[in-house]
Structure 1
Amino acid sequence: MRRVGNTVIAAVTVTALCSGAWLLHSGAGTQAPPQPSAAQARPGHPDPRSAPALPPSPPERIRIPSIRVDAPLTGLGLTKSGSLDAPPADRENLAGWYEAGTTPGETGTAIVAGHVDNADGPAVFYELGALRRGATIEVDRRDGGVAVFTVDAVEVYDTRGFPDEKVYGAARRPELRVITCGGGYSPATGYQGNVVVFAHLTGSRAR
């Protein structure tokens, strides 16, 4: 497990997101969500450029223009098992952020998670695996500002070998992780992995 802020999160944090309800209900012929290619993995020399950290302020909305994401954010806590809770599954265009941890834009590692699908079809982060290095993520903050992040890598991990230190470890600059389900799919267990986007703060502006 990894401590983020003052709270310990279990290594496999997004199990509640990964039932694959749409694939299960629609049959094996349904197209699975895109998965990141090896070309989008973290480079050996991360981009050193970073904007100055912002003061803490809760996030209200996330936008990822290249994959047509524009969604409100809700606060997420932990389940009794220590896993990150999930946004309500029936609200397909809703993502969540771990509100006991870092807020997006301040120094540290901020966590955003959302469903890849629900029983009715694709959900907010269905296209997350198609995101590419260099793409822009914008987060509207309650203080009226917008934190602008640049994607460093998009990777997929099996839940049995999820690299909690790499994903949730403390950062010396403002960083963001966006997480959904991915990898292989089994009707018995749902998705067998997680897609993780690594990004860092490269700018900010007023709304």
Structure 2
Amino acid sequence: MRAGVRVTAVLVALAGGLLLAGCCAPLAVSPAAFSTPVSRSVVPLAATPQAPALVPVPEAAPAVPPLRPVDRLVQSPPAELAVPAIGVRTDRIDALAPDAGGVLAATAEPATTGWFTGGPTPGADGPAVIAGHVGMGGAAGPFAHLAEVVAGDEVTVRRADGTDAVFTVYRVERVAREAFRASEVYGDTPGPELRLITFGGVFDRGAGPYPDNVVVWARLAGVR
């Protein structure tokens, strides 16, 4: 069991609007097109027994590997994140570390997410934490719709060792920043879990950062 990590503050108040967790169809050929008389020296393609099919056979969708239940995985850093319910798929997860005051910094790029290196890797014992932007500079971030996730949704983390750790969401909460309970997010858990975090509420540039945090809780369901 990996002990939880004490963090005095989870999300940094970011200035300037920087937000954390923030083929063509085949041509149809009518049989009537070949009903008019033609020269014996010209053989219509459709009349040739060896003529190729005019409509290509669609390729079958790749099979999704079955989910294999596991109690836990060995440590391996996260590389990609997918939350199909809200259309999220990122191919980059930065490493995030708290500053000297224990505040979790944000990723530098608005389109990326970040993994809290002070906690376990996704799938290992304990709560792995991934933070993302709601948006920045008018552009939506990967966690712009994180508050729309519901219990039962699936979250997949591709790890550096090539395994896909699959988590099932069991709780989603939006909480005021002042009431944020760090122990619930970073505290000890009986098995591998995942936390997704971003800002919530209405951003007021004059009043400062977003007033709330959105947190998603998920448990390891298996591996692919």
1:85 and 2:117 aligned: no
Query: TM-score scaled to structure 1, two decimals?
Result: 0.77
Unaligned runs of 5+ in 2: 23-68
Residue 146 of structure 1 deviates from its aligned partner by 0.4
Residue 181 of structure 1 deviates from its aligned partner by 0.2
Equivalent in the alignment of 2:142: 124
1:158 and 2:176 aligned: yes
1:192 and 2:211 aligned: yes
Determine which structure has the larger strand proportion and give its number: 1
Equivalent in the alignment of 1:4: 4
Give the secondary-structure state (helix, strand or coil) at the position aligned to 1:80: coil
Unaligned runs of 5+ in 1: 23-32, 34-49
Residue 17 of structure 1 deviates from its aligned partner by 5.4
Contact 1:60 1:141 in 2 (8 A): yes
Alpha-carbon spacing, 1:197–1:154, altered in 2? closer, same or farther (3 Å): same
Give the secondary-structure state (helix, strand or coil) at the position aligned to 1:165: helix
Please, which of 31, 48, 56 is the counterpart of residue 75 of structure 2? 56
Note the 1:24-173 alignment, pairs <5 A.
51-71=70-90, 72-88=92-108, 91-173=109-191
Contact 2:115 2:131 in 1 (8 A): yes
Alpha-carbon spacing, 1:131–1:18, altered in 2? closer, same or farther (3 Å): farther
Contact 1:149 1:201 in 2 (8 A): yes
Give the secondary-structure state (helix, strand or coil) at the position aligned to 2:185: helix
> Letter of the aligned partner of 1:56 in structure 2?
Q
What do you get for the CA RMSD once the two structures are aligned? 2.0
Residue 19 of structure 1 deviates from its aligned partner by 5.8
Give the secondary-structure state (helix, strand or coil) at the position aligned to 2:194: strand
Alpha-carbon spacing, 1:21–1:101, altered in 2? closer, same or farther (3 Å): closer
Task: Give, in whole Å, the separation in 2 of the partners of 1:19 and 1:127.
Answer: 21
Query: TM-score scaled to structure 2, two decimals?
Result: 0.71
Residue 107 of structure 1 deviates from its aligned partner by 1.0
Task: Give, in whole Å, the separation in 1 of the partners of 2:16 and 2:84.
Answer: 26
Residue 147 of structure 1 deviates from its aligned partner by 0.1
> Letter of the aligned partner of 1:76 in structure 2?
L
Equivalent in the alignment of 1:39: none
> Letter of the aligned partner of 1:4 in structure 2?
G
Contact 2:10 2:182 in 1 (8 A): no
Question: Percent identity between the aligned chains?
Answer: 36
Alpha-carbon spacing, 1:115–1:16, altered in 2? closer, same or farther (3 Å): farther
Task: Give, in whole Å, the separation in 1 of the partners of 2:131 and 2:210.
Answer: 15
Residue 164 of structure 1 deviates from its aligned partner by 1.3
What is the aligned residue count? 172
Bigger radius of gyration, 1 or 2? 2
Equivalent in the alignment of 2:61: none
Task: Give, in whole Å, the separation in 2 of the partners of 1:155 and 1:18.
Answer: 24
